[in-house]
Chains A and B, each alone.
Chain A
């Protein structure tokens, strides 16, 4: 899996957009970008993923640069409940048909601690 680099911490004002960057300059052509977050004292939560096109869901938007060497997770209107550690993962997509254990392995780096301030 490609290595990712994220800033250790960021602050954001409540109601404003939070833009979390991730560098993955060694990403391979078949690797996707996944974002998870972990709120204090809770388990990880899947947010969004993408290959090369920008993606949006009810939680966030994912912007991937054209060369795919970096991406940005955008929380359009951050709330206090969005305070968490955000993890960017780059890997070959999990395949529901593959029963191998490594297929389900989640390897998180240090992530970015996003603090949303009132």
Chain B
């Protein structure tokens, strides 16, 4: 199994630009999570999906952030417009329907830098 795949691994953009992060969960996993990690705030859950449906987006910081999951094998996290304070590592994770919540498998992350 290839594990959770994220792209790009690194993204550098200017303030005001649109940024799209992509995630391919492990095949067969029903849950998909988006996290953000910074030195100041640690790892924060932004949103998660179950069977492609967003279940809880209370962690999404602002309306500038949006996430979609058009099918079971693909999800995007979009920031529009981006700001320097959005600079962070964004992780995608997935898990099986029957697995316990702590059994999430994380991708390698996308390091976003907004200048």
Contacts and interface: CB of A to CB of B under 8 A. Distances in A.
A105 interface: yes
Interface stretch (B11-19, B62-70, B72-80, B94-102): B94-102
Interface in B43-76: 43-45, 47-48, 50, 55-59
B78 to A, nearest CB: 19
Contacts, number: 62
B42 A104 contact: no
Interface residues of B, number: 28
Majority SS at the chain A contact face: loop
Interface residues of A, number: 23
A118 interface: no
A5 to B, nearest CB: 15
Given A41-B108, A44-B91, A103 B101 contact: yes
Contacts of A46: 102-104
Interface centre among B4, B57, B102 (most CB of A within 10 A): B102
Contacts of A34: 102
Contacts of A57: none
B106 A45 contact: yes
B33 to A, nearest CB: 6
Contacts of B56: 99-101, 104
A101 B101 contact: no
A46 B103 CA distance: 7
Nearest to B31: A104
B101 A42 contact: no
B109 to A, nearest CB: 6
Contacts of B43: 44, 106-108
Interface of A: 34, 41-46, 49, 93-96, 99-109
Of all A-B residue pairs in the complex, the 3 with the closest CB atoms, nearest first, are A43-B106, A94-B101, A101-B56
